[in-house]
Structure 1
């Protein structure tokens, strides 16, 4: 009985390893096929291509392509540190740029709120028009609800930027008293086992949450590629335009897009943080903060880096 059980466990482990490395090997072919046949998933005039895009956007195939790409780039970066530093600097610069641009949505939100108050209280107008030539005109309640979109832009697109800047609040239980190298090991562990897996899980949920509000028949995460391609015959665009109040904001699908972008940015920043933590662990304390592009502020307005309780 014990020999049978141990043999079954060994066989299960062997099957799991075979499945894992088989998917790693297949990811090279899948990536090559996707790059050389873009019309099969990017030609959105073809309903089947749309359904392939929906399926592969949260598929096991995409997961292993991303995982393999991460492993290959990490191995190359461990061999050539300059290459890894280049990826770190490039992705951090990308997140900084996106965040700094998205942060202006906060100012737009404030200015629009002031205009709405003036229109309602001073001019007693029921609508508001913006633009030149052919202005965009909606009810005041539409513009009031649209303010949520600016808030969502700041939250979704500035999360990774705030992480790069060290602006997230961190609850420190064991981090501060340990040695420098132990801190970097904790950072790498957190990236691999918390940040990236959580971002992946949120992506899987948000991806189909987005597409269920864009097309019908509604796709499901439990459906395979063949089933979704069959549904393509009845596919039509059905973009969500239902407001929560009469004359209210009617483009709530934009919030779903922002959720997907947020998950992608968090995952990318998890990868970058792992690479930076590895390089700082490998090269020693003198490399801490190397190539960091921190925002400059005036004296007395310094940001609270790595705020802790």
Structure 2
């Protein structure tokens, strides 16, 4: 029994060492992979070549791509730990991206309402079967197409305004401990949350959504389990097969855009986890006086009513 336990312990230790070696090897190779990709863009950006499309699909969900992004994060974080002003700059840039996207695409909610009003008027009052927009050569689709397109506006708000809402502290926080602990303890919890929850969740959903997107754009369907060699073999028969089937015969014909938004959502969550980690660390280091430093919050200013003197 003792001998079996010792053998098992050695096996676990060996696996741990092998895992650490694998991580270190991929971190080192990340610099080579990034340099090679930047110096040979035709291998993955020349989409007139079927093999280039295949390489783009493969590397978008590959271990190599993950370690390139992760290494960039580690390098920038390391430099920022040395010069905190650089880290604050990264926070401001990433939060600025989230705020800009949110403030722009939040208007999709208004477009959704206006389009729904037009649809109701065209159907119930004018009894029209289609809506045409534009001058000269107008864009004309069946009313069911415009009705189903409303879902896309909703998807724009959800996917591209989620990190904006996070920056603006608009998400509901259910806490039993958080509100009762010290300022620096809160920042530690925030750092752990970004590393243990936000980043892994974004990576897992990305791996699913990336190939989910491309299975609705090209055939033969790529798979996350395929090696690069297997996908290159499939590329001989590759052709575009963009998803255009709606829920109704004349419905919305660009459902692949929902898959694009899913990928964008994962990317935004991942890079904003960086900003949240960096901000939490900097606020932990600098203390309560740095809370919400450089944070660009939207505030509705109350309109002051003119003072009317009372008459006796």
Same-fold status (TM-score > 0.5) = yes
Matched residue, 1:253: 256
Match of 2:19 among 16, 20, 23: 16
The answer to whether 1:107 aligns with 2:110 is yes
Matched residue, 1:303: none
The runs of 5 or more residues in structure 2 that have no matched partner are 304-312
Match of 2:205 among 195, 202, 206: 202
Which deviates further from its counterpart, 242-251 or 285-294? 242-251
Match of 2:274 among 268, 271, 275: 271
Write the deviation string for residues 68-96 of structure 1: whole angstroms up to 9, x where unpaired. Answer: 11111111001000000001001111110
The answer to whether 1:173 aligns with 2:176 is yes
SS of equivalent to 2:78? helix
Write the deviation string for residues 209-248 of structure 1: whole angstroms up to 9, x where unpaired. Answer: 0000000000011101000011111000000001111211
Match of 1:237 among 227, 235, 240: 240
TM-score, normalised via structure 2 length? 0.94
Answer with 1 or 2: which has the greater Rg.
Answer: 2
Match of 1:44 among 44, 47, 65: 47
Matched residue, 1:125: 128
Matches of 2:274 and 2:171, distance apart in 1: 17
SS of equivalent to 1:128? strand
Matched residue, 1:34: 37
- Report deviation, 1:17: 1.4
Matched residue, 2:161: 158
RMSD (Å), alpha carbons? 1.0
The answer to whether 1:223 aligns with 2:226 is yes
- Report deviation, 1:5: 3.2
SS of equivalent to 2:132? strand
Matches of 1:170 and 1:79, distance apart in 2: 32
Matched residue, 1:304: none
Write the deviation string for residues 137-185 of structure 1: whole angstroms up to 9, x where unpaired. Answer: 0011110111110010000000000000000001112100011110000
- Report deviation, 1:3: 3.9
- Report deviation, 1:9: 2.6
Matches of 1:283 and 1:51, distance apart in 2: 47
The answer to whether 1:294 aligns with 2:297 is yes
- Report deviation, 1:267: 0.8
Matched residue, 1:96: 99
Number of aligned residue pairs: 300
Write the deviation string for residues 113-152 of structure 1: whole angstroms up to 9, x where unpaired. Answer: 1111111111111110011111100011110111110010
- Report deviation, 1:4: 3.1
- Report deviation, 1:298: 2.6
Matches of 1:17 and 1:266, distance apart in 2: 26
The runs of 5 or more residues in structure 1 that have no matched partner are 301-309
Matched residue, 2:214: 211
The answer to whether 1:190 aligns with 2:180 is no
